[in-house]
Amino acid sequence: MAQVNPYLCFNGNCQEAFNHYKSIFGGEFNFLGRFNDMPQQERSAPIPEELDNKIMHVSYNIGQTILMGSDANPAMGDVVFGQNVSLSVNAENRDEANKVFEGLADGAQITMPLQDTFWGAYFGMCTDKFGMMWMVNFDQPIDN
């Protein structure tokens, strides 16, 4: 069964926010990647220099919930608070990811088609017909 977790977007203060959450709940980040970690060939548009050290993706466990977040690329406009939370579905396999994404994408605006990514996941995003923003993710096994 897929797991659903909140994904928060920020206007440049993602690290500050997540450090604050970590100071409250304890523990360590599962992952913290910056925009300058992104390979050039994976960028659909140039990333402004001021984003280099900003957060591309962070994940952090609070109990059974994984809180995730990132800073927004200003080229896409500022984050509008109240519209800065997505629901992230972690599927157990590709078939489940396809089924979930297909259902959510019915009548939706697809932001990013479900596809293999440079970070090793099968991932897509859409805003469903009810205006809810969704991310669908399957972390593919790493070949040794």
Does residue 32 sit within a domain? yes
Q: Which domain holds residue 95?
A: 3-139
Residue type, 120: G
Mean pLDDT of the chain: 88
66 — pLDDT class (breaks 50, 70, 90): very high
Q: Give the mean pLDDT of 49-66.
A: 91
* 131/59 Cα distance (integer angstroms): 24
Nearest of 85, 92, 96 to residue 131 by alpha carbon:
85
The pLDDT value recorded for residue 42 is 66
For position 57, which CATH number holds? 3.10.180.10
The pLDDT value recorded for residue 67 is 94
* 12/87 Cα distance (integer angstroms): 20
- As for how many domains the chain has, the answer is 1
Nearest of 76, 85, 67 to residue 9 by alpha carbon:
85
* pTM for this predicted structure: 0.74
Say whether pLDDT at 82 is over 80. Answer: no
pLDDT digits (tens, 9 = 90+) for 37-55: 887 766 666 777 888 899 9
The pLDDT value recorded for residue 9 is 92
Does residue 144 sit within a domain? no
Structure tokens at 30: 């599962």
* 83/105 Cα distance (integer angstroms): 19
Does residue 13 sit within a domain? yes
143 — pLDDT class (breaks 50, 70, 90): low
The pLDDT value recorded for residue 81 is 76
